[in-house]
Amino acid sequence: MDFTFVCPTELIAFQKHLADFEARNTAVVACSTDSKYSHLAWLSTEQNKGGIKGVTYPIVADSSKTISAQYGVLAGEYETTEGVLKFNGNPVAYRGLFLIDKEGVVRHQVINDLPLGRSVTEALRMVDALSFFEENGDVCPADWQTGKAGLKTTTEGVADYFSRN
């Protein structure tokens, strides 16, 4: 939600690391259930006044809440009763982060409740892990970091991994 407390910290953190994402050929796009008018006001407001002035990547206005519903981050759901469309819950989006590959497949997702901010460092780690997998075919074990070995998807590969770690 625009003009709240956690959202600007996340958007500004992603902006500060935008070059890191671009160097990895990864686009950053934000999406909110607020309107394009609210986004424009937020983007025009100085950061020390609760705004996100300086954020340069796109922010999609999902005022219809369709994107949020399709990605499973809408805090509630629509139902039709006797021909009347009704929303049950709070019609805002949780904090979702989705890593979508070149084929349009969601390869990683994390959904946080409203008071919990997302980690840019973890998002970059997951981009690196997906790239590593796509380039090498090796999977990335728990806490994998760039420069570390991957894991062969064989019994011998698993045994070798555990013998090294």
Supply the Cα-derived Rg of the chain in whole angstroms.
19
Q: Find the largest Cα–Cα distance for the chain.
A: 62
Helix (H, G, I), strand (E, B) or coil at 110: strand
Helix (H, G, I), strand (E, B) or coil at 145: coil
Alpha helices in the chain (DSSP H): 6-16, 18-23, 36-44, 66-70, 120-136, 155-164
Structure tokens at 101: 């590959």
The catalytically annotated residue of 4, 5, 7, 148 is: 7
Helix (H, G, I), strand (E, B) or coil at 33: coil
31 in active site: no
CA distance 22 to 35: 27
- Point out the residues that are catalytic: 7
